[in-house]
Every structure is written in C-alpha cells, then in structure tokens.
C-alpha cells in the first residue's frame, strides 16, 4: 500500500451553490481545498467552518476576473503545495436582459467573471501541473453555452467560450496526461435562480424532462466522477440538464 499523499484542489466561486457543494464533496474525499469568492465573504467563512469539521482548507478570496488577483492567489497556493491536483473553474455571474440594452460595463463584467477567469486560473495552474506530471481541470459551464438562451446573450457567449477553451486546452495537455473537461449544467437550484417566483419555477421544471431542478450536490457528484474518470476522458463538454436539450 502506498503512503498517503495529501491532495489539493482550488474551487473558484466556492462560497455557496455549486462551488460550495463541490468544495464540501472534495473535502470529504480528503482534499485540502482552496476556497475563493469575490464578494460573499460571510458565506465563504461559513463554508470554511463546515469544511473544517471534516477536513482542511485555505481561504483565497478575490476577483479572479483580475489577472493580478489570480497571480496573488496562486502565490499563496504555492506556499502550501507544489501543484494543484484539481482546478475547478466554477465562479460566474449571470445577466438577464436584451442585448441592445447591455452596457459596455455589463458585457465586460460577464466575460471577465465567466471566461477570462477560467483563462487566468488555467494559465497559472498548468505550469506546476506539467512539472508534476499530473492534474485535472474541470470547468463548470452551462447548457446555454451549448444552445444560447434568449435575453442571456453575454452569459451564453461566455459559456460557449468556456467550451471552446476546454476543448482546445484538452488537446494541448492530452499528451501530458492532464484531462480538461467541462460540465454544462442545466437548471440548478441555486441563488442564480432565486429571482424566479413559484409559478415560474413550476413552469420551468415542467419543461425539463426530468421534471425538476438539479441540486448543487448532484453537480458536485458529477465533478467527483470526472475527477475519478480515466485520463483518456478529456476535451468533453458533458451536458447535465435532465434531458432539457
């Protein structure tokens, strides 16, 4: 039996919802988790306290849409470990409205939060993964990146970009045995969908063949399955939507 080696994972946007569920799932599997968010610091502290009942973690808050912030975060990570075993790019925001009404600032904020952040974190994580000869990257995307949503043009474009980045990067890293995959989520029961009233929620659930929203814990379980999958599984955009598309 080989000696136990601590494993490390960085989960962006891990203060609540999908990111929190992923962080808790990986902590339960023995990973030391680097926890991140840009704004919800009280919620991030709550996630930290819950993880510390079962494992260990380090807070690395900050806006990962800012490349300087990402450099600082990875400098902190490097003080703890020589490489990440898992990078989960989960952080993201939505914007609902007509494209013609979007401001330059609205567009830039969505693209920065949802797409540029993935690029910045991958760029920082890859060199030590290559040096170590292992690592896994999982990008949390959306079914609207596969099939765009009305009144969510910027969000759809950003998530489509995540898909393209995932597939291109997977080809770059395949010979280095670093799988890169994306999970294109459908309707998940998170804060992002709390703006819907009960009638709207019921109508949306009716449109989903599975008849319900998914839970963040179900997404976390899919992420764990991707982490455990053979490394030959790479460059995939796996749609997790209850049969919606």
* Contact by Cβ (8 Å): 6, 202: no
Neighbours of 112 (CB within 10 A): 18
31 carries an active-site annotation: no
d(CA 224, CA 220) in angstroms, rounded, equals 6
Q: Which tokens is 196 given? A: 């819907």
Q: Measured in Å, how far apart are the chain's first and last C-alpha atoms?
A: 45
Give one DSSP letter per residue of 57-83, joined into a string: EEE--S-TTSHHHHHHHHHHHHHH-SS
d(CA 45, CA 228) in angstroms, rounded, equals 28
Q: Which tokens is 43 given? A: 């919620």
Neighbours of 22 (CB within 10 A): 31
* Contact by Cβ (8 Å): 115, 165: yes
Residue whose structure tokens are 């053979």: 230
Q: Tell me the backbone φ, ψ of residue 49, rounded to 5 degrees.
A: -60, -40
Catalytic residue chosen out of the listed positions 120, 155, 232, 244: 155
Residue whose structure tokens are 């609207």: 144
d(CA 122, CA 64) in angstroms, rounded, equals 11
Report the catalytic residues.
155
């Amino acid at each position: 039996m080989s000696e136990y080696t601590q494993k490390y994972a960085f989960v962006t946007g891990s203060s609540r919802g999908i990111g929190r569920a992923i962080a808790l799932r990986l902590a339960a599997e023995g990973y030391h988790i680097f926890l991140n968010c840009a704004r919800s610091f009280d919620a991030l502290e709550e996630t930290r306290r819950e993880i510390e009942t079962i494992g260990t973690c380090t807070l690395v808050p900050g806006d990962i849409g800012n490349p300087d912030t990402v450099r600082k975060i990875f400098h902190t990570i490097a003080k703890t470990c020589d490489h990440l075993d898992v990078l989960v790019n989960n952080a993201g925001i939505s914007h609902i409205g007509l494209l013609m009404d979007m401001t330059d600032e609205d567009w830039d904020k969505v693209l920065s939060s949802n797409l540029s952040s993935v690029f910045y974190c991958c760029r920082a994580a890859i060199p030590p993964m290559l040096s170590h000869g292992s690592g896994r990257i999982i990008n949390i995307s959306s079914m609207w990146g596969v099939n765009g949503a009305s009144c969510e043009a910027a969000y759809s474009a950003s998530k489509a970009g995540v898909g393209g980045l995932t597939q291109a990067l997977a080809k770059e890293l395949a010979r280095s045995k670093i799988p890169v995959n994306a999970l294109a989520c459908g309707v998940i029961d998170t804060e992002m969908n709390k703006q819907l009233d009960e009638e709207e929620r019921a109508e949306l659930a009716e449109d989903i063949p599975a008849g319900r929203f998914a839970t963040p814990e179900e997404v976390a379980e899919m992420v764990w399955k991707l982490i455990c999958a053979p490394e030959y599984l790479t460059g995939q955009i796996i749609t997790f939507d209850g049969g919606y598309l």
